Amino acid sequence: MKVDRLVSIIMILLDKGRIGAQELADMFEVSPRTIYRDIDAINMAGIPVRSSAGVGGGFEIMERYKMDKNVFSSADLSALLMGLSSLSNMVRGDELVHTLTKVRSFIPAGRAKDIEVKANQISIDLSPWMGSRNIQPYLEIIKTALQESRLLAFAYADQDGNKTARTAEPYQLVLKSSHWYFQGYCHKRKDYRLFKLTRISNLKMQEETFIPRDFQKPTLDFEEMWDTMQTKIKIRIHRSVMDRALEFCPYEDFSPDGSEHYIVRFPFIENDYYYNILFGFGDKCECLEPLHVRTEMKRRIQKIAAMYGNPHRCNTKK
């Protein structure tokens, strides 16, 4: 039983007053039976939660109950502050500020310094070091549209750069592998789509509202699929790009080749995306095996060389 889920349920009950078991189960992606066990644990901890049946029923903390601040341990409060502070750095809003204030009100004066130290032991900053446009305004627009069930209109570029005008019903903001997306029902495609924010331009929230559909959560875990699609190729890299190569495969797939290089068993799928990953290492990477991948790398290199060898492409003004 996860302590963070119990703490979250308590905070939800304090905020909403009354909520049903199924709604809680949907929030935390567990079964209603698990929620009932969680409520029993909360009661055993000394927080009186009662249930009411029928339409409009659910769980609620008994009236006139004042929560003992000691119900939260230092680890509980540190974890809450750490998570909320990191989230507030990415998605700003008054509600997050108010929630942080509420959580801090649970900190006893004698434990404030210790909890603050623990909360600052992990810092999450997903903003890039350089070279990416600020998507913060888009996050705020989408967050407002989610809260008010308002349609979003925008231009969307596919992987080849082709732009199409889209109108979508937003249902969820998604942060995956340091990239922001929103899941929405696309009116053009008449289906749910996951839109990458860096491919969106001219995002506008419309006056028109929509009636939410039964939301289909996006599939975000492709590990099993990648395992069946990927093969391991053999590449030789210079130690200067080892850190970047480690983003794609574990250290166990590296073996030293002299003092300056490594031989790497590198995961690979034969498409442009993976060839471009190899080209991203520049002259610090050589594909050794298999032969057909090495040959294709050579063909692409020759094509690039031919493009730069064409003097008619150069239009230098004197």
Each residue's pLDDT tens digit, 25-43:
887 778 888 888 888 888 8
More confident residue, 98 or 305: 305
Judge whether 257 lies within some domain. Answer: yes
User: Which pLDDT value is given to residue 240?
Assistant: 94
Both 241 and 300 in one domain: the answer is yes
Both 233 and 192 in one domain: the answer is no
Total domains present in the chain: 4
Both 63 and 96 in one domain: the answer is no
Question: Per mean pLDDT, which range of 158-162, 283-287, 314-318 is the poorest?
Answer: 314-318
**What is the rounded CA–CA span in Å between residue 9 and residue 86?**
20
Judge whether 128 lies within some domain. Answer: no
Judge whether 276 lies within some domain. Answer: yes
Both 167 and 243 in one domain: the answer is no
Per-residue pLDDT, averaged over 257-264, amounts to 95
CATH number of the domain within which 188 lies = 2.30.30
**What is the rounded CA–CA span in Å between residue 293 and residue 138?**
40
3-state helix, strand, coil in the chain (%, to 5): 45, 25, 30
Judge whether 127 lies within some domain. Answer: no
In terms of average pLDDT, the best of 36-40, 84-88, 102-106, 153-157 is 153-157
Owning domain of residue 284: 224-308
Per-residue pLDDT, averaged over 311-315, amounts to 67
CB atoms closer than 10 angstroms to residue 26 = 13
Both 173 and 105 in one domain: the answer is no
Both 115 and 100 in one domain: the answer is yes
Which of 46, 67, 88 delimits the end of a domain? 67
Both 237 and 304 in one domain: the answer is yes
Both 237 and 178 in one domain: the answer is no
For residue 58, give every residue at least 6 positions away whose Cβ sits within 8 Å of its Cβ, in sequence order, or none. 18, 19, 20, 21, 23, 51, 52
Judge whether 157 lies within some domain. Answer: yes
Each residue's pLDDT tens digit, 278-309:
999 999 999 999 999 999 999 999 999 988 88
User: Which pLDDT value is given to residue 95?
Assistant: 58
Judge whether 215 lies within some domain. Answer: no
Both 186 and 254 in one domain: the answer is no
Which of 67, 89, 106 delimits the end of a domain? 67
**What is the rounded CA–CA span in Å between residue 204 and residue 155?**
10
**Whether the predicted pLDDT of 130 surpasses 90:** no
Judge whether 263 lies within some domain. Answer: yes
Both 202 and 144 in one domain: the answer is yes
Both 30 and 95 in one domain: the answer is no
> Where residue 100 falls among pLDDT bands split at 50, 70, 90?
low
**What is the rounded CA–CA span in Å between residue 37 and residue 41?**
6
Judge whether 129 lies within some domain. Answer: no
For residue 53, give every residue at least 6 positions away whose Cβ sits within 8 Å of its Cβ, in sequence order, or none. none
Both 84 and 44 in one domain: the answer is no
The owner of tokens 């970047």 is: 244
